[in-house]
């Protein structure tokens, strides 16, 4: 019983002190984060992807860090754009080389991160994620699900790059 109470008190103290996120990352003295809308400037534009990605990135910072989301001028600031959106065949079926078995949706996002409290931690970097899907599936029927998945993975990568301490 004393062990459990000690653990809970230690955990509460760590959370109360701030600075550390639930991901194991370090936000330092930052208290706020601002995340601009990420427009889609890729050759193939899926307008809903900008909204989905931007919201996923905002959500992950709100849910997994102690940072407060503000509209502008956060201690940590994110901006950028979706620069690539492609759907390409990746696997031919063994029985018929002219038929595709799988397709790959790839999304690249260029991210500019400014840490106003620790400028050396800022970066401009391109993040890429992809998701494969069966070529027999109608892209229009699974597109929202694919956008959610790739946006979540991109957001996790960006969070880890910005505040990861490993």
Q: Where are the domains of the chain?
A: 2-163
**Better pLDDT: 10 or 113:** 113
Q: pLDDT tens, 67-124?
A: 999 999 999 999 999 999 999 998 765 555 566 789 999 999 999 999 999 999 999 9
Q: pLDDT tens, 115-166?
A: 999 999 999 999 999 999 998 898 889 999 999 999 999 999 999 999 985 4
C-alpha 7 chain-centroid distance:
31
Does 2-163 carry CATH code 3.30.160.150?
yes
pLDDT, position 68: 97
* CA–CA gap between residue 72 and residue 53 (Å, rounded): 18
Under 8 Å between Cβ of 112 and 158 = no
């Amino acid at each position: 019983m004393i062990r459990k109470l000690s653990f809970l008190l230690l955990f509460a103290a760590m959370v109360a002190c701030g600075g550390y996120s639930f991901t194991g990352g370090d936000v330092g003295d930052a208290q706020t984060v601002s995340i601009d809308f990420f427009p889609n400037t890729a050759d193939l534009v899926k307008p809903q992807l900008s909204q989905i990605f931007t919201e996923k990135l905002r959500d992950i910072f709100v849910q997994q860090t102690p940072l407060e989301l503000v509209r502008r001028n956060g201690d940590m600031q994110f901006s950028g754009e979706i620069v690539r959106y492609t759907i390409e065949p990746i696997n031919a079926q063994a029985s018929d080389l002219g038929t595709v078995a799988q397709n790959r949706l790839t999304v690249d996002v260029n991210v500019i991160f400014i840490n106003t409290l620790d400028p050396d931690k800022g970066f401009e970097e391109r993040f890429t994620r992809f998701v494969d899907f069966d070529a027999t599936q109608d892209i229009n029927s699974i597109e929202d699900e694919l956008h959610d998945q790739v946006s979540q993975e991109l957001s996790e990568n960006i969070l880890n790059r910005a505040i990861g301490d490993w």
